[in-house]
Chains A and B, each alone.
Chain A
Amino acid sequence: GDSVTQMEGPVTLSEEAFLTINCTYTATGYPSLFWYVQYPGEGLQLLLKATKADDKGSNKGFEATYRKETTSFHLEKGSVQVSDSAVYFCALSKVAGNNRKLIWGLGTSLAVNP
């Protein structure tokens, strides 16, 4: 079945370090891919998305490229800040007829130290 696998956390980095959070997926067809972020005590927020192969989503310095050949959607940021400390979720969406499925990874916790 369809699934999303994220690298396990927690990830701990120093401020200004480079961030990569790996996400791979298994799905038939042509899913859309998302990264959501959950700051402490809050709900999830859409961080970026890509709807077709080779699309690059970007927002707030974060980027992720939809790689169909490697079934991946890795999240990257060149220089993290303390305020980026949060849990990051990778997800995929598929539409089949009148139904759609949103499948989530388990989340990766990121802690950025000053």
Chain B
Amino acid sequence: KAGVTQTPRYLIKTRGQQVTLSCSPISGHRSVSWYQQTPGQGLQFLFEYFSETQRNKGNFPGRFSGRQFSNSRSEMNVSTLELGDSALYLCASSFGAGGSHEQYFGPGTRLTVT
């Protein structure tokens, strides 16, 4: 079974631009979560989607948005990029939206904002 894939793996953008990151979950998984990982803040939860609906949302500004498609693939968009958005963005999938929360992570997208 293929793992979680994220594209692109690396991205360099300029302040003020916008960016879209993509995540394909493990086949059969319907839940996709997004995290931002930085050395100073650790792993911070952005949002979770299940069956095309946002189920949970972290404390990030509205510049961060996401969506999930009918095939469970998910995209995350960040508009008006700031230097502080430079981070590793991780996507994780899981089978359901309840019960024990075993997540499978992709390798991440390294975003650098200059």
Contacts and interface: CB of A to CB of B under 8 A. Distances in A.
Interface of A: 32, 34, 36, 41-46, 49, 51, 89, 93, 95, 98-102, 104-107
5 contacts: A43-B90, A43-B105, A93-B101, A98-B97, A104-B45
Contacts of A93: 100-101
Interface of B: 4, 33, 42-43, 45, 55-56, 90, 92, 97-108
Nearest to B33: A102
Contacts of A49: 100, 102
| Chain A binding surface, main DSSP class | strand
Contact of B104 (A42, A46, A100, A102): A46
Contacts of A45: 105
A43 B4 contact: yes
Contact of B43 (A51, A89, A95): A89
Which one of B33, B55, B105 has the greatest number of beta carbons of chain A within 10 Å? B105
Contacts of B56: 99-101
Nearest to A106: B42
Please name the 6 residue pairs, one residue from A and one from B, whose CB atoms are nearest each other, closest first.
A93-B101, A43-B105, A106-B42, A44-B105, A32-B100, A104-B43
